[in-house]
Amino acid sequence: MIRKLLFLLLLPSILFTTAPLFAAGFSTSDMGGYWYIYSIEIDPALPAVYWIRGYIEVDDAGNVSNGAYYGPDNSTVALTGGSLEVNPQGIISGSFTAQGQTGTVVHGKLDQSKSIGSAVLIGIDNTLDMLTFIKSGGTFNTSDLGGKWYGYQIIIDPSTGAVFWIYGAYISDDSGRIVSGSYTGPDGSTLSVTSGLLSVNSSGIISGNITLSNGQNLTIVHAKIDQSKTRATGVSIEPNGGMGVAYLVKAGGTFKQTDIIAKSYAYGVIIDPSIPAVYWVYGNLRTVFSGNFSGTYTAPTGDVVAGSGLATIDALGVVTANVSFSTGDTGVTYIKQDQGKTSLVGVSVTNSGVMGIWQFFDAFQTTLPGLPLLLRDQ
């Protein structure tokens, strides 16, 4: 009730202010620069799931002037063109050209830091991609990797066709040595991190390896830490050909229930073993102070699924959300909010065994401090 009264008191100044209520916080020029790309790619024709990584160079008008991407087998595809556009809310659209074919950015979102974002694409040859892009810039050293990092990773086993996620956390010292850690799979099984050594060069490129208690040795092929030094994304490979795409969020900061993002854009890869099928979805969520949320998710086919539920966040920024879908399925999502409180990464599993790995980005851009908080419960 108090928030509603405050909103009514502020309404005249909101309506008649000469300043814009919602800032034109983004423009196409924000895409200008050199970007590292990491993507989960799905080829329905094979079928196959694998990662690609690469880079693009974009001018301030959004034109893709150069770029390439690389597969786990070291194959290379040159990007020969493309055009990207960013609207005032940070929504990305556009296309890429490679090998004479065009891939379309169906929906993307730039984080408020303007140095990291995510998008879903229908690529060349009708492949499906959920990509993360991290802007170059900043100066880094291995000590930036020190501390506790929450990790969310999709695992691809070409020998069995299995695709699943693991999530957990590890602790690294300032020399890059991993001193402890553990990960949990969708079936509740756990693996400990027995050893590992990471390093980062001055450009923020991470390399190294991690060994798990089941004997798996993950070699980091390429990874990038963002300019805030609190988010990272990269790709890995195992001796048996297994592949991984990891999303990392550094621990730190303090959180309360009202820090849950009021409106966010979501990008996820869905793994349904019963079909079997792997595909992306994108959507948006609205959350109120109590943690109740609702939203919709759109698949490449155009099919839309609605979801709603209750999310709680602890003092460390770890979010647990119970969700019910319009399909009748229910599930749980395990998420970590970043220190800037503008993005989240997580995994989900439903009672029917459908899995998801997710990225969320804050949708709000406002010039009036506190306005989203006043509006959220209206």
Q: Are 151 and 240 part of one and the same domain? A: yes
The domain that holds 187 is classified in CATH as: 2.40.128.120
Last residue of a domain, one of 250, 284, 311: 250
Q: Which tokens sit at 67?
A: 């770029």
The answer to pTM > 0.85 is yes
Whether residue 221 has pLDDT greater than 70: yes
**What is the gyration radius of the CA atoms in the chain, in angstroms?**
20
Residue type, 267: Y
CB 83 within 8 A of CB 65: no
Encode pLDDT of 287-338 as tens digits. Answer: 998 899 999 999 999 999 999 999 999 999 999 999 999 999 999 999 999 9
Q: Are the C-beta atoms of 45 and 126 separated by less than 8 Å?
A: yes
Residue at a domain's end among 135, 168, 190: 135
Q: How does DSSP classify residue 300?
A: T
Per residue in 329-359, pLDDT tens? 999 999 999 999 999 999 999 999 999 999 9
Q: Both 270 and 360 in a single domain?
A: yes
Q: Which domain holds residue 311?
A: 257-376
The β-bridge relationship of strands 128-135 and 343-350 is: unpaired
Higher pLDDT, 100 or 77: 77
DSSP string, 23-39: -----GGGG-EEEEEEE
Do residues 129 and 147 both lie within one domain? no
Q: Is residue 275 part of a domain?
A: yes
The total domain count for the chain is 3
C-alpha span between 72 and 40 (Å, rounded): 12
